[in-house]
Amino acid sequence: GEDVEQSLFLSVREGDSSVINCTYTDSSSTYLYWYKQEPGAGLQLLTYIFSNMDMKQDQRLTVLLNKKDKHLSLRIADTQTGDSAIYFCAALGTTSGTYKYIFGTGTRLKVLA
């Protein structure tokens, strides 16, 4: 079945760039997403990219998509302590005409002051 994989932890220093990586298996995924979850909260959509794009930039966030390798990354420039959270990669896939979101395990980003 469809699968989305991420590393579990990432630690960076404040002011550095963070890069969170994700791989997915469903080549028919039309949209790929990055969500952020702060402690005790639900998931907040950060950004998403359509599968025919290879890059999307939104302020400090840059999403890169390598469709051939089924690899998605999220780069956060000038990482701040407020960026500490769990980041989930997700892919939108279709099954029997209906669609569903497949999530990765989440990457816990820790920003060191």
Partner 1 sequence: DVKVTQSSRYLVKRTGEKVFLECVQDMDHENMFWYRQDPGLGLRLIYFSYDVKMKEKGDIPEGYSVSREKKERFSLILESASTNQTSMYLCASSPGVEAFFGQGTRLTVV
- For partner 1, give the closer residue by CB, 71 or 99: 99
Sheet holding 18-24, edge to edge: 4-6, 18-24, 71-76, 61-66, 55-58
Can you tell me the distance from the alpha carbon of 57 to that of 46, in angstroms, rounded to the nearest whole number? 11
**Minimal distance in Å, beta carbon 70 to partner 1?**
17
Q: Look up residue 8 and give its DSSP letter.
A: S
- For partner 1, give the closer residue by CB, 104 or 109: 104
- A 10 A CB-CB count for 77 gives 13
**Minimal distance in Å, beta carbon 22 to partner 1?**
11
- For partner 1, give the closer residue by CB, 35 or 85: 35
CA angle 60, 63, 65 (to 5 degrees): 165
**Minimal distance in Å, beta carbon 3 to partner 1?**
10
**Contacts to partner 1 by CB under 8 A:** 1, 4, 6, 8, 31, 33, 35, 40-45, 48, 88, 90, 92, 98-106
